[in-house]
Amino acid sequence: MGATLTIRIDDQTKKRLEHLAMATARSKSYLVNSAIKEFIAANEWQVQEIENAVKKADQPDAKFIDHEEVSAWLDTWGSNKEKDPPKCD
């Protein structure tokens, strides 16, 4: 059984949703539910990876590379003087 969710959308989005629902013979609820599921699937992994990275960074043995060192290394990519990657301290 599904839950009810109330949202506010602008008039243009409402018209577009109604048109798409009619053109695809799907309900507006079905289309909105599908769009929300796709959005969550596309973005949820990123939040999880950020949370995992923060946990790793908070560990006492976490190692980091200075931003300036990484930037300087990346600036050499594609040149004849490409540098070796910086090392973790």
Please tell me the total count of domains within the chain. Answer: 2
Residues 27 and 66 in one domain: no
Residue 25: inside a domain, yes or no? Answer: yes
Give the pair of three-digit tokens for residue 1: 């059984």
Name the residue with higher pLDDT: 67 or 89.
67
N- to C-terminal Cα separation, the chain: 53
Question: In terms of domains, do 42 and 16 share one?
Answer: yes
What's residue 2's pLDDT?
85
Task: Identify whether residues 73 and 87 lie together within a single domain.
Answer: yes
Task: Give the pLDDT mean for 16-31.
Answer: 98
DSSP 8-state secondary structure symbol assigned to residue 65: -
pLDDT digits (tens, 9 = 90+) for 36-74: 999 999 999 999 999 999 999 999 999 999 999 999 999
Tell whether the model's pLDDT for residue 34 goes beyond 90: yes
Nearest Cα to Cα of residue 2 among 33, 27, 28, 46: 33
Report if residue 21 sits inside a domain: yes
H, E, C per residue of 15-60:
HHHHHHHHHHCCCHHHHHHHHHHHHHHHHHHHHHHHHHHHHHHCCC
Q: Does the residue 6 lie in any domain?
A: no
Output the pTM of the full model: 0.60
Domain residues for 37?
Answer: 11-58
